[in-house]
Amino acid sequence: MKPVIAIVGATGAVGSEFLLVLKKMGFEFEQLHLIASKRSAGKVLKTVFGDYEVVDIEQFDFSQVKYAFFSAGGNVSREWAPKAAAQGAIVIDNTSAFRMQDTVPLIIPEINRSAYTGQKLISNPNCSTIQLVRALAPIHERFGVRKVIASTYQAVSGAGNEGVNGLHASLVDSEGAGDSSPFSRPIAHNVIPQIDRFMDNGFTFEEEKVRFETRKILNEPDMFVTCTAVRVPVFRGHSVAAYIETDKALDMGAVKAALVGQGIKVAQNPEDFPTPRTIANKEDVYVGRIRREPDARNGLWLWVVADNLWVGAAWNAVRIARELER
């Protein structure tokens, strides 16, 4: 029997992409429910599956739902995901609310499908973490990664519809950029080395997500992983520059060969590097600028680009459900 599915946060930057992803993946369902807050309840959304009325989460009963995809922020997930799971749904949560809980699997299907052992609540990793780990995992398997130093260049859509509107406003008024902007500085013609809140250690919460989620997904609690996460005036598509050191001697031909396939598109020549402008609505991870670090024994660099709304969110979440349907 085909599953009944619900998208919580359906009017949002990620939620609206779920519909396109379901269509492209050919994920079949019996019924689809689009859920948001009171603000959007009653609105009719025109989707690739036809017109759907948005339902207020407070009025919704999850007991008929098999998969509930949550993308409505951490507070909504903390309150509603356990209730939806108690009513019988399998919750696939895009927020950071439960990711680091020991009992909650943090899944990238291509990498650690086996971490799922029947739980009702599954976390989707952070967007930058997913694309980084998708590229790291094949190298780790072949050469044993021991150190990762990453810098991210993250699109404004990573901050949801407010982020997108914030960049539009800032491009018109680059000094003002409006009180409604979610960024701590004007984002147009700028780069902002702050994503999410600052922690006591001087890192941001986004940077800590990359550190701890990478270790959890790869099941390597002692791996050295560090990050500087930067917001850039790009609407869609995150980029990551990653320096990697391995235990085993590197063979760059074998590195490229390990990356090819598995949903990774590898630029063989330096000048063919990927950029965010060309990867919207694509499910692949794009890797370029693959080069050996001349001053380290087993060091290399990667440039990794992917659609934050697909690879970093909706595509990974629907892939999880598809795995569970097999």
Ligand X SMILES: NC(=O)c1ccc[n+]([C@@H]2O[C@H](COP(=O)([O-])OP(=O)(O)OC[C@H]3O[C@@H](n4cnc5c(N)ncnc54)[C@H](OP(=O)(O)O)[C@@H]3O)[C@@H](O)[C@H]2O)c1
Residues designated catalytic: 127, 238
CB 196 within 8 A of CB 206: yes
Residue nearest to ligand X (CB): 12
Closest to ligand X by CB, 58 or 141 = 58
Site string for ligand X, 128-167 (x = CB under 6 A): -----------------------------xx-xxx-----
Closest to ligand X by CB, 95 or 298 = 95
Strands 224-231 and 67-70: unpaired
The nearest distance, CB 312 to ligand X, in angstroms, is 5
Residues tagged in the binding site annotation for substrate: 154, 231
The nearest distance, CB 262 to ligand X, in angstroms, is 21
CB 214 within 8 A of CB 130: no
Whole-number Å distance between alpha carbons of 287 and 265: 6
The nearest distance, CB 271 to ligand X, in angstroms, is 28
Closest to ligand X by CB, 208 or 245 = 208
Distance in Å from the first CA to the final CA of the chain = 12
Please choose, from the candidates 2, 323, 276, 274, the residue with its C-alpha nearest in 3D space to the C-alpha of residue 127: 276
Closest to ligand X by CB, 44 or 260 = 44
Stretch that binds ligand X, among 12-20, 61-69, 132-140, 294-302 (CB under 6 A): 12-20
Closest to ligand X by CB, 10 or 135 = 10
CB 236 within 8 A of CB 167: no
The nearest distance, CB 246 to ligand X, in angstroms, is 28
CB 31 within 8 A of CB 53: no
- Our CA angle for 11, 198, 158, nearest 5°, is 25
Whole-number Å distance between alpha carbons of 195 and 210: 12
Judged by CB under 6 A, the number of residues near ligand X is: 29
Question: Any contact of residue 217 with ligand X (CB under 6 A)?
Answer: no
Question: Which spans in the chain are helix H?
Answer: 15-25, 74-86, 109-112, 127-143, 160-172, 205-218, 252-259, 315-325
CB 4 within 8 A of CB 65: yes
Q: Single out the residue of 104, 169, 309, 321 in contact with ligand X (rule: CB under 6 A).
A: 309
Question: Any contact of residue 312 with ligand X (CB under 6 A)?
Answer: yes
Residues tagged in the binding site annotation: 11-14, 39-40, 99, 154, 157-158, 231, 308
Question: Any contact of residue 229 with ligand X (CB under 6 A)?
Answer: no
Please choose, from the candidates 87, 89, 75, 129, the residue with its C-alpha nearest in 3D space to the C-alpha of residue 107: 129
Question: What is the residue-wise DSSP string for 64-78?
Answer: G-SEEEE-S-HHHHH
Site string for ligand X, 80-119 (x = CB under 6 A): --------------xx------------------------
Footprint of ligand X on this chain (CB under 6 A)?
9-15, 36-37, 39-40, 57, 71-74, 76, 94-95, 127, 157-158, 160-162, 308-309, 312-313
